[in-house]
């Protein structure tokens, strides 16, 4: 699938964003991104900068998004439909909400060439394999993946080329997946700057339930609880949000469709992890009620160490307040 | 309490940090900060830049902190004890964990001059008034306050002069408080760059329970839950924390002593607000279990609007991901 020879723009490409490397030769001839939102458009941007594919193709169900992508010049071809974007393509990456992945798989199934790779970027993996897998022809490789990266913004303008640099992308090959197709998907994510980890779809869904899905759920929930109080006005919640609340509003402003689909498609793992969270919060509430300061102090000390590890491993900034204050502090 | 005339350093002070203004005359002669940690040392720094007091005094129970404050040159006098710092002082601001405020009030009571103002920066207010109030002589004004500002770091090195700029400081005067003492505390916070709001201590404790205390509690809790799982390793939690979890680790790395004291001293309001949170999360869990996508979508849409308001009112950055990605995105 790899073809030799430099394409013209690789010769010109002298300023590649930090953490990305310009390739001597494209990894694939033709790469299609279906759904150029935050993640999809970031893939296109990083693919362009690195020379990952000779031809970048994209499409979106929404004509306004197709138009915007044309204006931004994010791809070589903007196809009118998913089926046309997928025709003759080496790798198709489906970058739509989890609940819509299977329907896209159904739309492109007939047009995929033998040996083509279909991947996705969904935050839930087992349901993708269960629902999309049976719709694809046997001659095609389904190799799901999930880059653990993003911001709270959506759409083609929100993406940027370095979104995946030093983030992890989890590849979840189904049983008996073709090793060379798996290697190509891994190579694609590495080219985009990510570190790659392999795991089963089931384990992925459990890990992400605690590192992403339940955190989003409780963030959405506390923001909703605060909005609904009678004793405290919304204006007070907003004014005094710097006490901690505002941190939660960031992930609670993530795309509603995407997150609805995540919860509907990872029900069991989310409810299991939420059950653990609830047990623990009940114990904390009891410690508060009975004045058990030692139990509180012990937990609050343990949790500090975890952040230190996350910072040490390059997954978080050490700047106070996420760097919100940086400019002021430099004075 | 206000004295006219420029002090020498106000003439030299040409570069005042953004959002702070150099005063023509000090607001008070002598200002003491007891406990120059993140908040206390930020008050000292901002007081120095603005010329808020003719003499800045500080002390700390920990000799190493006193030494460090001397090295940093944060005050004109570093007193050996709280009692000595308070002697002859116009305003004493107690900047220690909530559980230690009353004991400091007891230590300084005998040394306060008539008409002196005692204030604090504790995150809980009713218990401060209840416990510290009776220890102070009738000739002294207790005017508690709470600047809603901070970072996850502690200690004299963590502070900075602009910490309070455009943040809110809540002043909670007890019933029958002296209006001119209240006005002086309000003027002090305005001089430090803050907006001032007045409310009763009881209402403050309810507002902060939802905008600060419960958010901290659930952040500490989810970090603890994640650390204790058997099915997901700690290394996985750390690697994949960019999915949302890492946001919570910031406030879950705040000072353990301070936060233990907050929960022990605002028990009723915290348990009441946590009860609301729990009711709402039970409803969300039920929506997930029964596949009620509409209920999820509705909440996730409502919560977006709240963040927009917080950003519009200048209490949060609009930069994606709190600006963590800013440098990369600028490329």
What pLDDT sits at residue A16? 84
d(CA A2, CA A112): 18
Contact A320 B232 (CB under 8 A): no
The shortest CB-CB distance from A242 to any of B162, B267, B315 is to B315
Record the tokens describing residue B63, joined without a space: 């000799």
Q: Which of A166, A208, A278, A303 to mutate to test the interface with B (most CBs of B within 10 A)?
A: A303
Examine the pLDDT at A10 and tell me if it is beyond 50.
no
Q: Which of B265, B277, B288, B323 to mutate to test the interface with A (most CBs of A within 10 A)?
A: B288
The pLDDT tens digits for B282-324 are 999 999 999 999 999 999 999 999 999 999 999 999 999 998 8
pLDDT band, residue A325 (cuts 50/70/90): low
What mean pLDDT is predicted for residues A100-114? 98
Mean pLDDT taken over chain B: 93
What mean pLDDT is predicted for residues A94-123? 98
Q: How far is B7 from chain A (nearest CA, A)?
A: 23
The shortest CB-CB distance from B251 to any of A247, A271, A317 is to A247
The pLDDT tens digits for A180-202 are 999 999 999 999 999 999 999 99
Contact A303 B167 (CB under 8 A): no
Contact A304 B252 (CB under 8 A): yes
> Angle CA(B230)–CA(B231)–CA(B232) in degrees, nearest 5?
95
d(CA B59, CA B35): 6
3-state secondary structure of B100: helix
What pLDDT sits at residue A14? 52
Contact B223 A306 (CB under 8 A): yes
What mean pLDDT is predicted for residues A206-229? 97
Residue A299: what are its φ and ψ, rounded to 5°?
-65, -45
**Among chain B residues, CA nearest to A170:** B240
Give the DSSP H/E element, type plus range, for residue A93: strand A91-94
Q: How far is B318 from chain A (nearest CA, A)?
A: 9
What mean pLDDT is predicted for residues A242-246? 93
The pLDDT tens digits for B1-28 are 333 333 333 344 457 888 899 999 999 9
Q: Which of B243, B272, B274, B297 to mutate to test the interface with A (most CBs of A within 10 A)?
A: B243
Q: How far is A149 from chain B (nearest CA, A)?
A: 6
Partners of residue A313 in chain B, C-beta under 8 Å = 238-239
Partners of residue B236 in chain A, C-beta under 8 Å = 207, 211
Residue A24: other Cβ atoms inside 10 A = 10
Partners of residue B260 in chain A, C-beta under 8 Å = 293, 296-297, 300
Ordered domains of chain B (ranges, CATH): 8-199 (3.40.50.720), 203-319 (1.10.3660.10)
Q: How far is B110 from chain A (nearest CA, A)?
A: 30
What mean pLDDT is predicted for residues B63-67? 98
What pLDDT sits at residue A324? 83
Residue A81: what are its φ and ψ, rounded to 5°?
-140, 165
pLDDT band, residue B108 (cuts 50/70/90): very high
The pLDDT tens digits for A149-182 are 999 999 999 999 999 999 999 999 999 999 999 9
Q: How far is A121 from chain B (nearest CA, A)?
A: 13
Q: How far is B103 from chain A (nearest CA, A)?
A: 18
Partners of residue A158 in chain B, C-beta under 8 Å = 320
Q: Burial-class residue B84 by CB neighbours within 10 Å (0-12, 13-18, 19+).
A: middle
| Those residues with Cβ within 8 angstroms of residue B330's Cβ, 6 or more apart along the chain or in another chain | none
Q: How many angstroms separate the Cα of A2 from the Cα of each of A90, A181, B62?
A: 10, 12, 65
Q: Where are the beta strands (DSSP E) in chain B?
A: 28-34, 53-59, 77-78, 91-94, 117-120, 141-142, 145-148, 168-171, 195-198
Contact A18 B328 (CB under 8 A): yes
Reference A249, options B300, B269, B325, B218; nearest CA is B300
The pLDDT tens digits for B183-209 are 999 999 999 999 999 999 999 999 999
The pLDDT tens digits for A64-104 are 999 999 999 999 999 999 999 999 999 999 999 999 999 99
């Amino acid at each position: 699938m790899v073809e030799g020879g430099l394409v013209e723009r690789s010769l010109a490409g002298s300023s590649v964003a930090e953490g990305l490397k310009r390739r001597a030769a494209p990894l694939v001839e033709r790469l299609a991104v279906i759904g150029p939102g935050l993640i999809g458009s970031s893939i296109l941007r990083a693919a362009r900068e690195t020379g990952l594919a000779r031809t970048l193709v994209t499409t979106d169900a929404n004509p306004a998004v197709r138009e915007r992508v044309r204006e931004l010049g994010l791809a070589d071809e903007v196809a009118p439909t998913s089926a046309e974007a997928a025709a003759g393509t080496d790798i198709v990456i489906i970058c739509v909400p989890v609940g819509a992945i299977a329907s896209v798989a159904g739309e492109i199934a007939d047009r995929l060439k033998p040996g083509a790779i279909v991947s996705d970027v969904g935050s839930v993996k087992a349901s993708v394999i269960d629902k999309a897998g049976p719709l694809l022809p046997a001659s095609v490789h389904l190799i799901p993946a999930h880059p653990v990266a993003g911001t709270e913004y959506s759409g083609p303008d929100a993406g940027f080329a370095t979104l995946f640099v030093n983030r992890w992308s989890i590849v979840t090959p189904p049983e008996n997946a073709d090793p060379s197709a798996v290697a190509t998907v891994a190579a694609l994510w590495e080219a985009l700057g990510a570190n790659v980890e392999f795991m089963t779809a089931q384990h992925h869904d459990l890990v992400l339930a605690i590192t992403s899905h339940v955190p989003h759920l409780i963030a959405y929930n506390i923001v909703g609880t605060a909005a609904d109080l009678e004793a405290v006005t919304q204006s007070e919640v907003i004014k005094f949000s710097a006490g901690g609340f505002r941190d939660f509003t960031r992930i609670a402003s993530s795309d509603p469709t995407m997150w609805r689909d995540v919860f509907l498609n990872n029900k069991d793992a989310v409810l299991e992890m939420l059950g653990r969270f609830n047990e623990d919060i009940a114990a904390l509430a009891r410690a508060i009620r009975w004045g058990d300061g030692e139990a509180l102090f012990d937990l609050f000390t343990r949790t500090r160490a975890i952040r230190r590890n996350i910072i040490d491993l390059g997954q978080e900034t050490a700047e106070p307040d996420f760097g919100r204050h940086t400019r002021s502090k430099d004075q």
